[in-house]
């Protein structure tokens, strides 16, 4: 009886302590991801900012100035999955925006899911391919489903992966119609978003410099020419998404959501995830678009300031924790390096596939041993190898031998090199690999070289360069501090979980895997 009484007191004390902790928990987690935000540009353009946006966050928050992703071939989807789960692609399953399906030999999207119906879109989405739990999933679990989670982004992969498995509302912009859309996975389309669609459809937008162009002198331009872009019609939506106008619309959606939602209105923590864009217009190089990127940062600074002011007025920033992070890469057009006599070139993967099949046929008999390629990945026909009783390791070894002789190839990685004790460099490679979606062999190119999957795609090629980016955590109980050390991106999930008094997502830790 005494033991039972003591246990009851202990449990009551635990509940009381948890309640005391929760009284200081944020009412709202405002999770901001900025596609292609760079630390160097963030500081370089600071003379153009106001006081209420980036400067407020940088001066009042904990700033990890040199964050990075601990894996290769970063893109928007793999970065979003890492930020939301605190894990790398090896664990969370999202190796990129797209990959090759071994069974069908078709390219699949990281969030496309035809088990559901699209809402204002013909392409339904879900987080079914995301194999790890997110911070927002843990928020749902900790609050018995009462936390409200909404994710808004220009593109489906960012919206879905930042929203997690248990989100209430997830919205992205349809590339064909311009409507904000969603999936039946999340239930009915929200009425507030449907109302915004009535305004968005058919609306034209124009992007011109906010300031006189002579103020945009961070790249040493002499009397730079002003720019002006107009977006009106379905054909302009993809371009629109790479302009400052897209960020304006994300902001409008965020404010409309907060006005109509109960998020942040009680003591149960909720989450609003937003994705903005800070890359180059149309993915062009800095040489081609030196003014646009500066204006992009300036206008984004204003958007964040407006959003923070709105949140402060309606919820109180003392009741909110804000995070800002980046996708950690820069995507630019594939310029011809020979223009400046730089080492450069293009590797065409369809040609590599054909030559490899000829090479392996000479050894094992005529057949198509490589059944598919995508990006730098090479996929063997494993069933064929098994039928012909060809040892997989032997086929891979000869493939590596062939590929290392190809101009522009720096290194070749295989599934066999990822076993056992790994060097830090090889662990970095393994982090970006996933057995369900990665190839059997993949290439690392020499600096300046590019990959095209066919000759016709060369004009549309883009390459992604990893960059240092900031992680900023601001608000409820966060003391200002600048951390200059190199910091892996998975620190964000761990820190937010601590601030929210919830468990970290499964397999999240502060180690760099």
Domains for the chain: give ranges and CATH numbers. 25-333+463-500 (3.40.720.10), 345-460 (3.30.1360.150)
* Pairwise CA distance, residues 147 & 31, whole Å: 14
Give the pLDDT of residue 223. 58
Alpha-carbon gap, residue 75 to 152, rounded angstroms = 18
| pLDDT score of 344 | 82
3-class SS at 322?
A: strand
Q: What is the pLDDT of residue 276?
A: 98
Q: What does the pLDDT look like over 434-461, one tens digit per residue?
A: 988 999 999 999 988 888 876 544 444 4
pLDDT digits (tens, 9 = 90+) for 327-370: 999 987 655 566 677 788 889 999 999 999 999 999 999 999 99
| Res. 19: pLDDT tops 80 | no
State residue 462's pLDDT score. 54
pLDDT in tens, 162-198: 999 999 999 999 999 999 999 999 999 999 999 999 8
Reported as a single tens digit per residue, the pLDDT across 75-94 is 999 999 999 999 999 999 99
CA dist 452 and 455 (Å) reads 7
pLDDT at site 187: 97
pLDDT tens by residue, 54-79: 999 999 999 999 999 999 999 999 99
Comparison of pLDDT for 15 and 447, the residue scoring more: 447
- C-alpha to C-alpha distance for 349 and 378, rounded to whole angstroms: 9
Q: What is the mean pLDDT of residues 248-262?
A: 97
**DSSP letters for 187-251:** -SPPHHHHHHHHHHTT--EEE--SS-GGG--TT--SSPPP--EEE-SGGGHHHHTTSHHHHHHHH
Mean pLDDT, rounded, for 373-395: 95
pLDDT score at 283: 83
**Among 357, 339, 349, 513, CA closest to 445:** 349
pLDDT at 164: 98
Burial of residue 501 (number of CB atoms within 10 Å: 0-12, 13-18, 19+): middle
Digit-coded pLDDT (tens) for 468-479: 999 999 998 899
* 274-279: average pLDDT: 97
Are 304 and 55 a contacting pair, CB within 8 Å? no
For 426, residues 6+ apart whose C-beta sits below 8 A from its C-beta are 417, 418
Between 225 and 229, the more confident residue is: 229
Comparison of pLDDT for 448 and 112, the residue scoring more: 112
Among candidates 282, 298, 302, which has minimal Cα distance to 212? 298
When pLDDT is averaged across residues 260-287 and rounded to a whole number, the result is 93
User: Is residue 443 within 8 Å of residue 376, measured between CB atoms?
Assistant: yes
Q: Given this model, what pLDDT does residue 12 score?
A: 37
Q: Give the pLDDT confidence score for residue 463 in this predicted structure.
A: 61
Pairing assessment for the beta strands 270-277 and 28-35 based on DSSP bridges:
parallel
Comparing 108-117, 137-146, 182-191, 202-211, which segment has the lowest mean pLDDT? 202-211
Arithmetic mean of pLDDT over the chain: 89
More confident residue, 182 or 17: 182
**Angle of the 135-142 helix axis to the 76-85 helix axis, nearest 10:** 30
- Dihedral (CA of 42, 44, 48, 50) sign: positive
Residue 444 is inside which H or E element, if any? strand 441-445
């Amino acid at each position: 009886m005494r033991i039972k009484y003591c246990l009851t007191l202990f449990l009551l004390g635990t509940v009381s302590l948890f309640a005391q902790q929760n009284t200081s928990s944020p009412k709202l987690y405002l999770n901001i991801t900025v596609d292609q935000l760079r630390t160097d540009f963030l500081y370089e353009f600071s003379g153009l900012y106001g006081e209420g946006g980036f400067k407020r966050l940088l001066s009042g928050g904990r700033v990890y100035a040199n964050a990075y992703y601990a894996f290769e071939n970063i893109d928007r989807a793999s970065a979003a999955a890492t930020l939301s789960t605190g894990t790398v692609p090896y664990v969370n399953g999202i190796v990129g925006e797209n990959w090759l399906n071994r069974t069908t030999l078709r390219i699949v999207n990281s969030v496309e899911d035809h088990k559901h119906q699209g809402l204002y879109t013909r392409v339904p989405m879900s987080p079914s391919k995301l194999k790890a739990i997110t911070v927002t999933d843990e928020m749902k679990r900790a609050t018995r489903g009462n936390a409200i989670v909404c994710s808004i982004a220009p593109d489906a992969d960012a919206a879905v992966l930042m929203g997690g498995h248990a989100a209430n509302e997830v919205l992205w912009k349809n590339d064909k119609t311009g409507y904000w859309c969603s999936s039946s996975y999340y239930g009915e389309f929200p009425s507030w978003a449907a109302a915004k669609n009535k305004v968005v459809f058919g609306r034209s937008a124009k992007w011109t410099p906010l300031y006189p162009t002579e103020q945009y002198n961070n790249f040493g331009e002499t009397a730079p020419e002003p720019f002006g872009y107009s977006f009106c019609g379905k054909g302009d939506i993809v371009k629109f998404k790479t302009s400052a106008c897209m960020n304006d619309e994300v902001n409008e959606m965020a404010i409309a959501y907060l006005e109509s939602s109960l998020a942040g209105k009680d003591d149960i923590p909720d989450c609003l995830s937003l994705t903005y864009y800070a890359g180059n217009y149309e993915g062009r190089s800095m040489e081609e678009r030196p003014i646009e990127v500066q204006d992009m940062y300036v206008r984004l600074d204003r958007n964040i300031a407006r959003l923070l002011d709105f949140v402060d007025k309606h919820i109180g920033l003392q009741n909110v924790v804000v995070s800002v992070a980046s996708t950690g890469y820069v995507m630019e057009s594939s310029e011809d390096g020979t223009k400046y006599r730089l080492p450069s070139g293009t590797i065409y993967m369809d040609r590599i596939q054909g030559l490899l099949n000829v090479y392996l046929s000479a050894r094992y008999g005529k057949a198509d041993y490589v059944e598919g390629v995508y990006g730098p990945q090479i996929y063997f026909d494993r069933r064929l190898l098994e039928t012909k009783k060809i040892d997989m390791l032997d086929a891979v070894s000869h493939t590596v031998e062939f590929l290392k002789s190809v101009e522009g190839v720096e290194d070749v990685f295989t599934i066999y090199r990822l076993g056992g004790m790994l060097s830090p460099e090889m662990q970095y490679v393994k982090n970006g690999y996933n057995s369900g979606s990665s190839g059997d062999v993949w290439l690392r190119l020499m600096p300046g070289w590019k990959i095209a999957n066919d000759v016709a795609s060369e004009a549309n090629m883009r390459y992604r360069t990893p960059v240092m980016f900031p992680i900023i955590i601001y608000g409820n109980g966060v003391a200002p501090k600048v951390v200059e050390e190199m910091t892996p991106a998975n620190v964000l999930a761990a820190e937010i979980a601590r601030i929210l008094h919830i468990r970290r997502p499964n397999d999240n830790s502060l180690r760099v895997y």
